[in-house]
Amino acid sequence: MRPIYVPPWRIEPVLRDGVKAIVPFRELATLAARALDAAGAPAPASLGIVLSDDDELADLNAEHMGSDGPTDVLSFPLLPPGAFPPHPGQRERGEDVSPDDVPRPPRTRLHLGDVVVSVERAIDQAERGVGGQLSDRRWAAADELRLLVTHGVLHVCGWDHEATDEGAAMRALETRVLGIADAYGSDA
């Protein structure tokens, strides 16, 4: 597929064989750009979004996370958290890193990383009413996919949800990027 430009971002979409894109890639690219903006990602840059299935996510989950079975989204950041602005609740930021100091070929765009989402998992979670990460939100599979892409992009940008404070801040930012009410019913 061809890259989608949402200045200053280049989103590189990949749709695996046999996987149905339940949300147009243009919409996912726009959403990813909003999440990159909200996270203060260094620009201009590129980001890969791969729509896949449970089999690939199970393989990646085992290889990279040491966990059995499929998961809904995995992120593969190429920059350390210190390359992004600090955010609420952040436990481990590490040393500040200038994106200009990241080695890359001349005249190339900085690549932030890749987000791989199981469309199959998004559909299943929505159908079972266990979407919305930790909020058990009932909504359409397309909404779950939008959330998973947003969630994955924030992980690429150094966000994590293991610590309670950072997790709450991450979920608040997700709801703001998505333009939805949060799990507690307040407006985003």
Which pLDDT belongs to residue 181? 62
Please tell me the pTM assigned to this model: 0.90
pLDDT at residue 137 greater than cutoff 60: yes
- CATH code for 4-88+107-178? 3.40.390.30
Q: What is the pLDDT of residues 111-122, one digit of tens each?
A: 999 999 999 999
What contacts 24+ positions apart, CB below 8 Å, involve 129-135? 132/183, 133/161, 133/171, 133/174, 134/161, 134/167, 134/171, 134/183, 135/171, 135/182, 135/183
Q: What is the mean pLDDT of residues 127-152?
A: 82
Q: What is the pLDDT of residue 102?
A: 78
Query: What average pLDDT does this structure show over 70-96?
Result: 89
Domain ranges of the chain: 4-88+107-178
Q: How confident is the model at residue 61 (pLDDT cuts 50, 70, 90)?
A: very high
Q: pLDDT value at position 18?
A: 97
Which residues in 53-68 are b (16+ Cβ under 10 Å) and which e? bbebbbebbeeeeeee
